Amino acid sequence: MSLIISIETSTKVCSVALHENGVLLGDNSLWVAQSHSVMLTTMMEDVVKHAQREMHEIDAVAVAKGPGSYTGLRIGTATAKGLCFALDKPLIGINSLTAMAAALQGQTPGNHWFCPMIDARRMEVYCAIYDEHLKEQQATEAKIIDEESFKDTLDKQTMIFFGDGAAKCKEALGHSSNALFAAEFYPTARSVGKLAHQAYENQQFEDLAYFEPFYLKDFVALPSKKFKL
């Protein structure tokens, strides 16, 4: 038996889901940028309450660990770790891109591979490649997209590009007939929870004390501006 609450804050969409033995009991999503820190705790409480469960009944907490928004990942991680410490429950970390691919798996006919993309500004994206069975074919990376990107793969394999980083890459990659593009798509707690159930069954837990978000790129703080009065 497993009752898992999942948190996804790696993009502008903030979402929470509750799964029991891999079956979705309820979820809540808020498509409002910069609302994560204000609404996340309330959303968690609402999902558990509406599923007629109690927070102390939770067996594990799952969080999308990144890559994605630095601020969003810090908020999600801090909230997940705090809940784990308070309830003395294990933490499960799920790659945000893998969760995106899991959400699209089974939704498209044919032998398509998946390339989820999270916008990293300019022509750079966080991306990975998965086959139809969610087996990783290219590891998560920060990649600057041009017309030569993924050429070797696209020469022999149909791929679906999706996520908030895919639209800006369509002009560069659309010359290949094997490049398909899905509508705007975000990672959600639903698919995080789907993968978290598998991780829970395999006892794949994070080290709670040392767990940090998967930023992929080092965070660089910009120098503060000084103004003359």
Domain parsing of the chain, residue ranges: 3-95+187-201, 98-181
- What does the pLDDT read at residue 117? 96
Q: Which parts of 33-180 fold into alpha helices (H)?
A: 36-50, 70-87, 96-104, 151-154, 170-173
Strand segments, DSSP code E, in the chain are: 3-8, 14-20, 23-30, 60-66, 91-95, 113-119, 124-130, 136-144, 159-162, 179-181
pLDDT at 226: 45
Q: Are 113 and 158 contacting, i.e. CB atoms less than 8 angstroms apart?
A: yes
**The predicted structure's pLDDT at residue 130:** 97
Beta bridge partners of 4: 19, 60
Give me the pLDDT at residue 221, please: 47
Q: Measuring CA to CA, which residue among 62, 68, 128, 71 is closest to residue 93?
A: 62
Residue 25: φ, ψ to 5°: -95, -30
Question: What's residue 26's pLDDT?
Answer: 97
CATH number among 3.30.420.40, 3.40.640.10, 2.60.40.10, 3.60.9.10, domain 3-95+187-201: 3.30.420.40
For each of the chain's 229 residues, which pLDDT tens digit applies? 899 999 999 988 899 999 999 999 999 998 876 667 778 999 999 999 999 999 999 999 999 999 999 999 999 999 999 999 999 999 999 999 999 999 998 777 778 999 999 999 889 999 999 999 999 999 999 999 999 999 999 999 999 999 999 999 999 999 999 999 987 788 899 999 999 999 999 999 999 999 999 998 765 444 444 434 4
CATH number assigned to the domain with residue range 98-181, chosen from the 4 options 3.40.190.10, 3.40.50.2300, 3.30.70.1520, 3.30.420.40:
3.30.420.40
> Residue 229: its pLDDT value, please?
40
Question: What is the rounded distance in angstroms from the CA atom of residue 214 to the CA atom of residue 89?
Answer: 21
Query: For residue 209, what are the CA distances in angstroms to 42, 112, 169, 206?
Result: 25, 39, 38, 9
Supply the DSSP symbol for 116. Answer: E
